[in-house]
Amino acid sequence: MVDRLANSEANSKRIAVVESCFGTAGQPLAIPGRVLIGEGVLTKLCRKKPKARQFFLFNDILVYGNIVIQKKKYNKQHIIPLESVTIDTVPDEGDLRNGWLIKTPTKSFAVYAATATEKSEWMNHIGKCVEDLLQKSGKTPTGEHAAVWVPDSEASVCMRCQKVKFTPVSRRHHCRKCGFVVCGPCSEKKYLLPSQSSKPVRVCEYCFLQLTAGSLAPRSDSISRPGSKFHSNNLSDDEDEDDSSD
């Protein structure tokens, strides 16, 4: 079915509509062989709180963005190659139901559908697309993925030292290796995680020690530098990294 739709006029028109909704800020999506499988609104568990996001599943990529005007305008386009995606179901908890994890080497997060049926359809279609891509390319599924960030609301104190309480002064930070919410003193180190960034990123003390164990030349530096006016506990993750709040 996907092969039949690949060069159809209807498919081309559907992809053109998606491109127009993202406007000039979005990347071109129409390439030979690409098929728009489906689309819908999912609740993405972001750092601050769950937020509605528009998702588009193609046979080779997953695209999502912020909803400005439903079915008319979206911004902050994100494109995830499906070859690098693995998915896992998330148990229902409170108001967060019908969820699953989308995991990639660069970024991982949880999303929630409106119904169990919708969740099943999304997971089945994503899984089939990934399976077909890997089969065609001969590649093996990726074994590495970025940590899913623990939402701010789930941590009133540092998840490492269990001592520092978060306040407007003692800000929350996220370790890029384990995803824990940690205080400034517990995350003063940086380490190069090539799958996530070309520059060293913030990691907690525990992960830093694990990463550098046995390493002769750890690829890292300290966030706080001597003589600097910069204080790590006054910097939020929103300032650490663009889009970290999403």
Predicted confidence (pLDDT) per residue in 159-196, tens digit? 999 999 999 999 999 999 999 999 999 999 999 999 99
> 239 or 7: whose pLDDT is higher?
7
When pLDDT is cut at 50, 70 and 90, the band that residue 3 belongs to is low
Tell me the CATH class for 1-137.
mainly beta
Mean pLDDT comparison of 45-49, 144-148, 158-162, 229-233, highest-scoring range:
158-162
Boundaries of CATH 3.30.40.10 in the chain?
152-214
Contact (CB, 8 A) for 78 and 64 = yes
Boundaries of CATH 2.30.29.30 in the chain?
1-137
Ordered DSSP codes for 52-121: EEEEEEESSEEEEEEEEETTTEEEEEEEEEGGG-EEEEE--BTTB-SEEEEE-SS-EEEEE-SSHHHHHH
pLDDT of residue 183: 97
Of 120, 112, 117, 108, the residue nearest 92 (C-alpha): 112
Residue 80 above 60 pLDDT? yes
Q: Print burial letters for 159-182: b (CB count within 10 Å at least 16), e (below 16).
A: bbeeebebeeeebbbbbbbbbbbb
Share of the chain above pLDDT 90, in %: 76
Ordered DSSP codes for 20-64: HHHGGGSPP---TT--EEEEEEEEEE-SSSEEEEEEEEESSEEEE
Span 15-27, pLDDT tens digits: 999 999 999 989 9
Instruction: Give me the mean pLDDT over the 112-124 stretch.
Output: 98
pTM above 0.85, yes or no: no
pLDDT of residue 215: 53
Return the number of other C-beta atoms located less than 10 Å from residue 1's C-beta. 7
Residue 233 above 60 pLDDT? no
pLDDT of residue 246: 52
Residue 242 above 80 pLDDT? no
The listed CATH number (3.30.40.10, 2.60.40.60, 3.30.70.100, 3.40.50.2300) that belongs to domain 152-214: 3.30.40.10
Q: Is the torsion defined by CA of 220, 226, 232, 233 positive or negative?
A: positive
pLDDT of residue 141: 80
Span 135-146, pLDDT tens digits: 998 888 877 899
Return the number of other C-beta atoms located less than 10 Å from residue 6's C-beta. 14
Token pair for 146: 């970025």
Q: CA angle at residue 122 from 13 to 155, to 5 degrees?
A: 120
**What is the length of the chain?**
246
pLDDT of residue 135: 93
> Residue 65: which residues within 8 A CB-CB, separation 6 or more?
22, 26, 53, 54, 74, 75, 76, 77, 78
The whole-chain average pLDDT of the chain stands at: 86
Least confident window among 86-95, 174-183, 209-218, 219-228: 219-228
First to last CA, the chain: 34
When pLDDT is cut at 50, 70 and 90, the band that residue 234 belongs to is very low
pLDDT of residue 28: 95
